[in-house]
């Protein structure tokens, strides 16, 4: 470039860009040379394979160092399989585990079932499903969750604990309490109000809610609010109730459980599961019938009962007896019909020994002959009946009137 008096000194833009790019390339070559020199030095430390493919070796060149990944007895030619395995090996993060609580302390026992534990930690785990009680991790004393435990920690151990206003959870400081409220009591959170545990799925939350139910021993009638206490008491009160696991196939041992019974407070009828008791209360005592017939408007407890009723309007009989060829409206009707041919009567009365083809007929027999179970009382006289249509007929004849019939016609 020729210098001119009125033009300032400078360089061409293209020349300046080329010079900068050359300098950057020179630095890149120097860094690459250092990296490869270091990589070659590290490669000299690799183990010598005696008989390939006894070990496969992969080298990862990084900006800071060379990392070596080895696999024993790994012989594959698929590059995708190798790449996926190497990605899992390199990018896998270590699992963050919560710090374990202190498991030392004085030996203690549960005040409800008498089971002994080595430390308060294990006693507290035993009472984890209890909706009312928990153990002090310092001394092992058992108190009601929430306020009572907070007062015990303050008076006996001089420790300050912050109680959540929406559940009985105690936090050591206000920061953890605030974090607990934001996580456990936000909109849509599935948090148990009895013990403060939070669940990610609705199914887990509903399953946990059954843990706080009151369980009654069938042998002596003692009630427990903790499933662990109930099981410990049942193992001592009636040790032969639970079958021996050694006599059960291995694939069915996970289903072995102590049979529990659930009793209705209204009529005293017992069931083997809580959902059965729930349906009994909804259908019988609350008279909730969500399924309605589209032709006549009659309501039913379940969709299966509605489907059976629809046969009255559609005249469809899709179930055939394999003995006489008779067409029936439902599968259970076909089962009962077949029992009339074979003479099978699997349901036996406990009082007189008479046998029946269905449990409903045995229940009706027990109500009529032995005066057992719940009967439908008349609201206007001392009479009671086994079936609802009998009560409706009685109301129509004995207490005839429009107000009497409307309430019982459904």
CB-CB contact of 68 with 59 (8 Å): yes
Q: Are residues 225 and 341 in the same domain?
A: no
More confident position, 237 or 244: 237
pLDDT digits (tens, 9 = 90+) for 110-129: 988 888 998 888 888 888 87
pLDDT above 70 for 52: no
Which of these three, 216, 241, 266, is where a domain ends?
A: 241
Q: Are residues 179 and 122 in the same domain?
A: yes
- CATH number of the domain residue 352 falls in: 3.30.160.60
13 within domain boundaries: no
The pLDDT score that the predictor gives to residue 45 is 67
Q: Are residues 171 and 214 in the same domain?
A: yes
279 within domain boundaries: no
- Cα Rg of the chain (Å, integer): 38
Count of domains for the chain? 3
Which of these three, 241, 274, 304, is where a domain ends?
A: 241
Q: What is the mean pLDDT of residues 18-42?
A: 86
Q: Are residues 74 and 124 in the same domain?
A: no
As a whole-number percent, the residues of the chain with pLDDT over 70 amount to 77
The pLDDT score that the predictor gives to residue 260 is 60
More confident position, 330 or 187: 187
Strand 190-191 and strand 198-199: the pairing is antiparallel
Q: Are residues 131 and 218 in the same domain?
A: yes
pLDDT digits (tens, 9 = 90+) for 281-305: 888 888 888 888 888 888 888 888 8
Q: Are residues 60 and 146 in the same domain?
A: no
More confident position, 351 or 403: 351
pLDDT digits (tens, 9 = 90+) for 257-279: 555 667 788 887 877 777 888 88
Q: Are residues 148 and 232 in the same domain?
A: yes
Q: What is the mean pLDDT of residues 201-205?
A: 85
CB-CB contact of 60 with 66 (8 Å): yes
Q: What is the mean pLDDT of residues 195-200?
A: 85
Q: What is the mean pLDDT of residues 336-355?
A: 90
pLDDT digits (tens, 9 = 90+) for 312-341: 788 778 888 888 988 887 778 888 899 989
Among candidate residues 366, 311, 313, the one with its CA nearest the CA of residue 333: 311
Cα–Cα distance for residue pair 22/347, rounded to 1 Å: 97
As a whole-number percent, the residues of the chain with pLDDT over 90 amount to 6
Q: Are residues 74 and 130 in the same domain?
A: no
Q: Is 215 exposed, middle or buried (0-12, 13-18, 19+ CB in 10 A)?
A: buried
Q: Are residues 132 and 192 in the same domain?
A: yes
**Confidence class for position 405, pLDDT limits 50, 70, 90:** very low
Q: What is the mean pLDDT of residues 129-147?
A: 86
**Confidence class for position 155, pLDDT limits 50, 70, 90:** very high
The pLDDT score that the predictor gives to residue 36 is 81
The pLDDT score that the predictor gives to residue 368 is 84
pLDDT above 50 for 409: no
The SS3 assignment for 235 reads helix
Give, rounded to a whole angstrom, the gap between the first and last alpha carbons of the chain: 108
Concatenating the DSSP letter of every residue in 129-157 gives T-SSEEE-TTT--EEETTHHHHHHHHHHS
pLDDT above 50 for 354: yes
102 within domain boundaries: no
Which of these three, 241, 257, 274, is where a domain ends?
A: 241
78 within domain boundaries: yes
Residue ranges of the alpha helices (H) in 92-209? 120-126, 147-156, 174-184, 202-209
224 within domain boundaries: yes
80 within domain boundaries: yes
Q: What is the mean pLDDT of residues 397-410?
A: 56
Cα–Cα distance for residue pair 36/31, rounded to 1 Å: 9
176 within domain boundaries: yes
Q: What is the mean pLDDT of residues 184-190?
A: 88
Q: What single DSSP character describes residue 267?
A: T
The pLDDT score that the predictor gives to residue 257 is 56
Q: Residues near 167 by Cβ (< 8 Å), separated by ≥ 6? A: 184, 185, 191, 192, 193, 194, 195, 196
Q: Is 223 exposed, middle or buried (0-12, 13-18, 19+ CB in 10 A)?
A: exposed
Rounded to 5°, the CA angle 305-311-315 comes to 175
Tokens, residue 202? 């609705």
pLDDT digits (tens, 9 = 90+) for 53-82: 545 555 555 555 555 555 555 556 666 776
Q: Are residues 112 and 68 in the same domain?
A: no
Run of H or E including 215: strand 215-216
Q: Are residues 46 and 112 in the same domain?
A: no
pLDDT above 70 for 387: yes
**Confidence class for position 410, pLDDT limits 50, 70, 90:** very low
383 within domain boundaries: no
Q: Are residues 73 and 172 in the same domain?
A: no
The pLDDT score that the predictor gives to residue 209 is 77
pLDDT above 50 for 197: yes
Distance of CA 398 to the CA centre of its chain: 52
SS (H, E, C) 15-80: HHHHHHHHHHHHHHHHHHHHHHHHHHHHHCCCCCCCCCCCEEEEEEECCCCEEEEEEECCCCCCHH
Residue 191: count of CB within 10 angstroms of its CB: 20
The pLDDT score that the predictor gives to residue 92 is 53
pLDDT above 70 for 86: no
Q: What is the pTM of this model?
A: 0.44
The pLDDT score that the predictor gives to residue 77 is 62
| Bridge partner list, 133 | 144
Residue 61: count of CB within 10 angstroms of its CB: 13
Q: What is the mean pLDDT of residues 78-95?
A: 63
The residue segments making up the domain with residue 39 are 20-84
Run of H or E including 355: strand 355-356
Q: What is the mean pLDDT of residues 156-183?
A: 90
Q: Residues near 161 by Cβ (< 8 Å), separated by ≥ 6? A: 149, 150, 153, 154, 170, 171, 172
Among candidate residues 361, 333, 331, 332, the one with its CA nearest the CA of residue 348: 361
């Amino acid at each position: 470039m020729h210098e001119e008096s009125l033009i300032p000194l400078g360089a061409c833009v293209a020349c300046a860009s080329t010079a900068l790019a050359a300098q950057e390339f020179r630095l890149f070559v120097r860094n690459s040379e250092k990296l490869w020199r270091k990589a070659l030095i590290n490669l000299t430390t690799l183990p010598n394979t005696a008989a390939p493919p006894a070990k496969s070796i992969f080298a990862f060149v990084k900006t800071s160092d060379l990392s070596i990944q080895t696999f024993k007895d790994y012989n594959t030619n698929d590059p995708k399989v190798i790449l996926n395995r190497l990605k899992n090996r390199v990018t896998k993060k270590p699992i963050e585990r919560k710090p374990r609580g202190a498991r030392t302390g004085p030996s203690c026992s549960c005040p409800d079932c008498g089971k002994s534990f080595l430390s308060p930690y294990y006693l507290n785990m035993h009472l984890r499903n209890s909706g009312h009680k928990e153990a002090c991790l310092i001394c092992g004393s058992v108190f009601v969750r929430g306020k009572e435990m907070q007062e015990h920690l303050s008076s006996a151990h001089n420790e300050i604990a912050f109680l959540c206003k929406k559940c009985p959870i105690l936090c050591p400081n206000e920061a953890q309490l605030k974090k607990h409220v934001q996580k456990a009591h936000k909109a849509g959170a599935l948090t148990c109000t009895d013990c403060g545990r939070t669940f990610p799925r609705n199914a887990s939350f509903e399953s946990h809610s059954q843990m706080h139910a009151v369980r009654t021993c069938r042998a002596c009638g003692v009630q427990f609010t903790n499933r662990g206490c109930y099981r410990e008491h049942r193992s001592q009160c009636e040790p032969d109730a639970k079958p021996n696991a050694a006599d059960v196939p291995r694939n069915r041992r996970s289903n072995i459980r102590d049979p529990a019974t659930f009793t209705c407070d209204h009529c005293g009828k017992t069931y083997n599961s809580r959902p059965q008791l729930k349906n009994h209360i909804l259908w019988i005592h609350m008279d909730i019938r969500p399924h309605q017939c589209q032709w006549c408007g009659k309501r039913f407890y379940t969709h299966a009962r509605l489907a059976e009723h629809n046969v009255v309007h559609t005249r469809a009989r899709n179930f055939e007896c394999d003995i006489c060829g008779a067409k029936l409206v439902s599968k259970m009707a076909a089962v009962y019909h077949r029992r009339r041919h074979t003479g099978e009567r699997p349901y036996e009365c406990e009082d007189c020994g008479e046998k029946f083809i269905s449990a409903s007929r045995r229940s009706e027999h027990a109500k009529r002959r032995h005066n057992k179970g719940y009967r439908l009382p008349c609201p206007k006289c001392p009479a009671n009946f086994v079936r609802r249509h009998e009560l409706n007929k009685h109301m129509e004849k004995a207490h005839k009137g429009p107000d009497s019939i409307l309430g019982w016609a459904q």
